[in-house]
Each structure stands twice: as C-alpha cells, then as structure tokens.
Amino acid sequence: MSCHIMKDVNTYESDSDGLLYDPRVRAAMTQFTDTDNDLLTFEAGAAVRTANLAVERMRAHGSQGRGASAGALDLLIRLNGSEHGISIGELARTAGVSSRNATGLVDTLEHDGLVRRVPDPKDRRSVLAEITPAGRAWMKAFRKPSQLAMRAMFHGFAPEELVVLRDLCLRLAANQHRLADRLRQTGQQP
C-alpha cells in the first residue's frame, strides 16, 4: 500500500468501545454543542449524511449515468413492483417529495423510455405513470449488478446490524415527520 493510497484513506478512528467516529467532525462539533449527548446527536446526523453520500456515489457509479438518479430509480423500482400505473400525486406522497418534483422525475424516466404516462380513467385531472417494457428490461439488466454493489457496500455487516441500521434511520425519519406535523399544526411555519 503506497503512501499515495494512504493519503486517500479516510481517517475514521475507533472510540473506546471500538465504534467508528470521525475526529474531524468531532473537533468541529465539539465547539457547537454543550453536552456529550448533544455531540452524539450531531455526530450521528453528520454520519447519516456521510453514509447517504456514500450510497449515492455507489449508485451513480453503478448506473453509469443511465438516467437513474436516486429519486428516479426509487420511482422506477416502485413502478416495477406494481401491476398497474400509479398517479403522480401518489408517487410524490409515498416518496415524500412535492408533486412538482415527482413530475420532474417521471419526465426524466419518460424521456429515457423507461416510463410512460397514461390517463387515469377514474379522475381526469390525474395521470398514471407506468413502467414500460424497456423499463422492465432495464430493471432486469441492473438487478444483479445492483445486488453485487449493495453486498459490497454492506460487506462485513451482520444481518442484525442491517436491521438495526434500518430501524434507527426510520425512527429518525418518523421523529422528523412528527415534528413537521406539530409545527404545521401550531402554525409556526415561516
């Protein structure tokens, strides 16, 4: 391992319990927090962001710029698992983005021929997005590489650890949803 490679390796360190932390983040956050627990929350938040960037980067590499941004891919996977079309609004709600954004993501997928729009017979205001045969073929082609990539990303993780990571992340998201709801109710929106 040459010095050039050493220089690029992340300098995460292990704490007394053998768990990773980023000393640079810790140094920066320590001055922004009052208690040890506050520091832990900031570090965890920063770590979530770091992990997300890592997943995004692996995704970007794996799809080779094939119009498969994270958001669009999520929609495509969702549509692939449905035997009928899904409305733009429903896609937006379940993805937790604005309908305008869902419109844009579907635009992208439609432009690439992976998805098409069809009228919703039950509501003339609404449009259903459905996956095309080309979209299903795309999903099929990327199934195995995607699995290999995720296996490599989570190399060294026990199944229980994957489950715990999922739970912790979803609890965080649930907390944020509750907070947003509360703020909306008390009219504290800016």
**Would you tell me which residues interact with DNA (CB under 7 A)?**
53, 67, 69-72, 87-90, 92, 97-101, 103-108, 117, 120, 123-127
Q: Minimal distance in Å, beta carbon 107 to its own copies?
A: 21
Q: Find which of its own copies, DNA, none residue 113 binds, CB within 5 to 8 Å per kind.
A: none
Q: Count the site residues for its own copies by CB under 8 A.
A: 89
Instruction: Restricting to residues 58-97, name those near its own copies by CB under 8 A.
Output: 58, 61, 64-65, 70, 74, 77-78, 80-81, 94, 96
Contact 122, 114 (CB under 8 A): no
Residue 131 beta carbon to its own copies: minimum distance, rounded to whole angstroms: 11
C-beta separation of 79 from 86 below 8 A: yes
Give whole-number Cα distances, 32 to 45, 51, 166, 168, 172, in Å. Answer: 14, 22, 28, 24, 21
CA–CA gap between residue 138 and residue 190 (Å, rounded): 43
Q: Is 3 in the site for its own copies (CB under 8 A)?
A: no
Residue 34 near its own copies by CB under 8 A: yes
Contacted by 127, from DNA, its own copies, none: CB < 5 to 8 Å by type: DNA
CA distance 34 to 29: 10
Q: Specify burial of residue 115 (Cβ count, 10 A radius: 0-12, 13-18, 19+).
A: buried
* Complex with DNA: residue 33 or 108, whichever CB lies closer: 108
